[in-house]
A and B are shown apart, each in its own frame.
Chain A
Amino acid sequence: AQKITQTQPGMFVQEKEAVTLDCTYDTSDQSYGLFWYKQPSSGEMIFLIYQGSYDEQNATEGRYSLNFQKARKSANLVISASQLGDSAMYFCAMRDRNNNDMRFGAGTRLTVKP
């Protein structure tokens, strides 16, 4: 069965600094996709970045990058140059071949300090 683990319930970062949000996963499938979503207080889930299990390079999208370590089954999100608007809940998610649905970790609440 799929399992996504986010061990940091809350994180603080100073504005303009970088922060890493941890995510580990467990799957028996060789083909899977890893996703990160941001959820501001409004509730809507906003897609940030995707990494495929066969992708050799780490995914990047603007200030977001994904530190993918396949052997360790980790997919950490790195946010560079944090902004006040980055304060939100962040969820790691996975979709694999066995389960078409997307499963989520417990989330990390990020607070950016001015």
Chain B
Amino acid sequence: KAGVTQTPRYLIKTRGQQVTLSCSPISGHRSVSWYQQTPGQGLQFLFEYFSETQRNKGNFPGRFSGRQFSNSRSEMNVSTLELGDSALYLCASSPDPGQGASNTEAFFGQGTRLTVV
């Protein structure tokens, strides 16, 4: 079974631009979560999608958005990039944990390293 695939692996953008990152989950997994990892803030939860619906959201400004397609692939978009958006963006997929399930591990991709200059 193929793992979680994130594209691109590396990206350099200029302040003010927008960027779209892609995540293909493990086949059969319907839950996709996004995390931002920076040296100063650690791993911070962005949002989670399940069956094309955003089910949970972290504390990020509206410049960060996402969506999920019918095949469970997900994209996240950051508009009006700021220098502080430079980070490793990790995507994780899970089999349907179901609302209230707590025992499902998350499988991570290798991440997209975004640099904003």
Contact = CB atoms under 8 A, between A and B. Distances in A.
A binds B: yes
Interface of A: 29, 31-33, 35, 37, 42-47, 50, 52-53, 91, 93, 95-97, 99-107
Max chain A C-beta neighbours (<10 A), residue from B99, B102, B106, B109: B102
Given A43-B88, A43-B110, A107-B42, A99 B105 contact: no
Given A33-B102, A91-B43, A104-B42, A99 B56 contact: yes
A38 to B, nearest CB: 11
Contact of A33 (B92, B104, B107, B108): B104
The 7 A-B residue pairs with the shortest CB-CB distance, nearest first, are A45-B108, A104-B43, A33-B102, A97-B100, A106-B42, A101-B56, A33-B103
Interface of B: 31, 33, 35, 42-43, 45, 48, 50, 55-56, 58, 88, 90, 92, 97, 99-111, 113
Interface of B is mostly: strand
A30 to B, nearest CB: 10
A107 B110 contact: no
A104 to B, nearest CB: 4
14 contacts: A29-B102, A33-B104, A46-B108, A50-B103, A52-B102, A91-B43, A97-B102, A99-B56, A100-B55, A100-B100, A101-B45, A101-B56, A104-B35, A107-B42
A9 B38 CA distance: 15
A24 to B, nearest CB: 16
Contact of A42 (B35, B97, B101, B110): B110
